[in-house]
Structure 1
Amino acid sequence: MVLDVWKQIKKQQFAPIYVLYGKESFLINETKQLLISNILGEEESDFNLSTYDLEETPIEVAIEDAETFPFMGEKRLIFLNNPGFLTAEKTKDKVEHNLSRLEAYLQEPAPYSIIVFSGLYEKLDERKKLTKELKRKGAIVEAKKLDEQELKVWIRERAALNSVQIDEDAVELMLTLAGANLFMLTTEVDKLALYVDAGKSIDVHTVDKLVSRSLEQNIFSLVDKIIHRKIDEALRIYYDLLKKNEEPIKILSIISGQFRLIYQVKELARRGYGQQQIAGYLKIHPFRIKLAAGQANLFSDEELTRIMKMLADADFQLKTGGLNKEMIVEMFLFRLQKNKA
């Protein structure tokens, strides 16, 4: 996992070559920042940090840089972005690369330089000799979207990096509030670690008290109250959102999106799809599918169909004017309570 590579970097145990790839750009950027802060001093970045776009610059230019002794420091750090020759995906290369020059460098990397290849590619081309050699000589970081279990490991290990622990129920609540957004999870864990001090533990009460709630998170709570028919509590959350100047049309849109997801998950599960298959088919994080699957069990097909119709009617009223916008969502909530099957 990427955190294993991070631990090595923090221990000043560097590989001569790093290959960062995947669709989770947060992990790639965090790894880059970690390398910069651990390899170069504050004043060294101006002299010993280079960045090349390999869609614009031939690889041999970057290799020549890597073979140049560092100035006023011990190491050179060279970022090579968009190495299209490492993937089978279609890329925008505007130059031809002398890859034999790179292959020769890999046989004897400069001991004073660290090269970091970085690309938002889903996969590397494992068939290529160059890819195999890079995997043999370097450290490979796959920056992929994490599943639920990996996210839990991420939260626990991020807490450990901050010299604190986090209780299991606190991990669950953190995922509920922050979802699969690694940037938000990382920010919140770091904040909580500062609050509880080193050597202590983050509990569920601390998470509930301190974790920031975005519009989506507040509406997640709103939807949860709606689903469990706690309309009074749903209305309180709705009124709080209005006080924060959130637009009723945006609130209704997110509510509609969640009920649409519940409907889709229920239908696909009936057809025999597993949760991982549904996540892949809908291109939605598995954690959200798991939550929707639990919510789907609370509704009959007839109820969901009726609710989707009510939401469509409310959306039409919001977009065509007439009634007060705030009242339209309020009326939907009252109708939902009244129309319970």
Structure 2
Amino acid sequence: MNEVEKILAELEKKNYSPIYYLYGEEPFFIDVISDYIERNVLSDDEKAFNQQIVYGKDITIDALIHYAREYPMMAERRVIIVKEAKELNRTIANLEPYVKNPSPTTLLVICYKYGKIDGKTKLAKELNKYVSLESKKLYESDTLKWITKYLKDNNYTITQVASQLLVSFLGIDLGRIANELNKLKIILPKGTEITPSHIEENIGISKDFNVFELQNAIGKKEFPKAMQIIKYFNENQKDNAMPMITENLYQYFKKLFIYSSSIGKADAELAREMGINPFFLKDYKVAAMNYPLKKISFCMEVIKQTDLKSKGVESGSISYYDLLKELIVKIIF
């Protein structure tokens, strides 16, 4: 059981803490806990007088403490949720007296996304005496595992290719991925194994023309297929932004470099270092035969140059399609 599940389990048992300090670079897990508290701690009738959602940019520390010190009205407790708490950074140290002696009838939830309070401060040390969660960004391999578990918990499964397709297109943004998976859960009956066809039909990510298939075509040096894919990208630029393509290709060659540099390692260890599912090692084995280390380094440099050109650096008037075509030719030949 991970930290998020432990916190949720205690909340379900109604074992409440007076303070919840939720911080870090991954907003999804912060939202999971704060949303649960917002929905479940108080009844609908109790919420009217005892639950407040405030925002860091709109409230002072003095006002926040005042709200937290108020007695509940016709309820056992109050809930104060501070969203965008990072906006309070300049004055948040003034919250220390309250944290040292919090109201036993208030749940104060501090949502400090995309950062954290300096751990050396007295406030941070006091906060860590209560329920705290550092919500870290997941690596790609962890995101793939998360997708599998998220669906399993809701009585669905997903193929490895479909899972990779989602991550290749949406990145490691758990909020976006969860939104798309939730759409599928509405459409598909429980027990369904989600495939690339389901994703194409219901989310709009082509199962044949996507950055994951472009990587495979490049790895196998299948130039005609790679050209077909970038032509599709050119016709659907809104859904295939250049930064997404270059980032995925760069990470692909970075993983290929690790694969080619790691001689004699067991598959499980190698997959872990690359941050991929062992299922896909066979594809990297094929690519490694086509791309020696020197060529891999060259490809990574070319991808970085293409990314810069796409952002207007020494690009002249080159079009989206011509930029991608130039990139594919340099990589494959």
Please, what TM-score do these two structures have when normalized by structure 2? 0.68
Quick one: which amino acid aligns to residue 32 of structure 1?
Answer: S
Aligned match for 1:58, one of 31, 56, 61? 61
Instruction: Give the 3-state SS of the residue equivalent to 1:19 in structure 2.
Output: strand
Aligned match for 1:141, one of 114, 130, 133? 133
Instruction: Give the 3-state SS of the residue equivalent to 2:101 in structure 1.
Output: helix
Using the aligned pairs only, state the percent identity: 19
Cα distance in structure 1, aligned partners of 2:85 and 2:301: 49
Cα distance in structure 2, aligned partners of 1:150 and 1:324: 36
Instruction: Give the 3-state SS of the residue equivalent to 1:319 in structure 2.
Output: coil
Where does residue 219 of structure 1 map in the other structure? Answer: 211
Cα distance in structure 2, aligned partners of 1:98 and 1:258: 42
CA RMSD of aligned residues (A): 4.7
Contact persistence 2:25–2:114 (CA under 8 A)? yes
326-335 or 182-191, larger mean C-alpha shift: 326-335
User: What is the CA-CA distance between 1:13 and the residue it aligns to?
Assistant: 4.9
User: What is the CA-CA distance between 1:186 and the residue it aligns to?
Assistant: 1.0
Cα distance in structure 1, aligned partners of 2:20 and 2:321: 53
Cα distance in structure 1, aligned partners of 2:306 and 2:10: 56
Cα distance in structure 2, aligned partners of 1:82 and 1:26: 14
Where does residue 183 of structure 2 map in the other structure? Answer: 191
1:320 matched to 2:316? The reply is yes
User: What is the CA-CA distance between 1:145 and the residue it aligns to?
Assistant: 0.9
Aligned match for 1:110, one of 104, 109, 114? 104
Cα distance in structure 2, aligned partners of 1:52 and 1:327: 46
Cα distance in structure 1, aligned partners of 2:121 and 2:302: 55
Contact persistence 2:26–2:114 (CA under 8 A)? no
Q: Structure 2: 5+ residue runs without aligned partners?
A: 263-272
Cα distance in structure 2, aligned partners of 1:49 and 1:22: 24
Cα distance in structure 2, aligned partners of 1:257 and 1:237: 17
Where does residue 99 of structure 1 map in the other structure? Answer: 96
1:18 matched to 2:20? The reply is yes
Where does residue 279 of structure 1 map in the other structure? Answer: none
Quick one: which amino acid aligns to residue 120 of structure 1?
Answer: K
Quick one: which amino acid aligns to residue 166 of structure 1?
Answer: T
Where does residue 79 of structure 2 map in the other structure? Answer: 77
Instruction: Give the 3-state SS of the residue equivalent to 1:93 in structure 2.
Output: coil
Contact persistence 1:55–1:92 (CA under 8 A)? no
User: What is the CA-CA distance between 1:235 and the residue it aligns to?
Assistant: 2.3
Change (3 A) 1:158 1:302: closer
Instruction: Give the 3-state SS of the residue equivalent to 2:172 in structure 1.
Output: coil
Cα distance in structure 1, aligned partners of 2:301 and 2:140: 32
User: What is the CA-CA distance between 1:300 and the residue it aligns to?
Assistant: 1.7
Contact persistence 2:81–2:110 (CA under 8 A)? yes
Change (3 A) 1:237 1:98: closer
Contact persistence 1:16–1:114 (CA under 8 A)? yes
User: What is the CA-CA distance between 1:168 and the residue it aligns to?
Assistant: 6.3
Quick one: which amino acid aligns to residue 180 of structure 1?
Answer: I
Change (3 A) 1:8 1:156: farther
Where does residue 229 of structure 1 map in the other structure? Answer: 221
Instruction: Give the 3-state SS of the residue equivalent to 1:116 in structure 2.
Output: strand
Where does residue 244 of structure 1 map in the other structure? Answer: 236
Change (3 A) 1:254 1:64: closer
Count matched residues. 308
Change (3 A) 1:233 1:72: farther
236-245 or 202-211, larger mean C-alpha shift: 202-211
Quick one: which amino acid aligns to residue 193 of structure 1?
Answer: K
User: What is the CA-CA distance between 1:182 and the residue it aligns to?
Assistant: 0.4
Contact persistence 1:12–1:38 (CA under 8 A)? no
User: What is the CA-CA distance between 1:271 and the residue it aligns to?
Assistant: 9.0
Residues 252-292 of structure 1, C-alpha deviations (whole Å, 9 max, x = no match): x65555555556667788999xxxxxxxxxxxx97489989
Quick one: which amino acid aligns to residue 223 of structure 1?
Answer: Q
Change (3 A) 1:182 1:93: same
User: What is the CA-CA distance between 1:183 and the residue it aligns to?
Assistant: 1.1
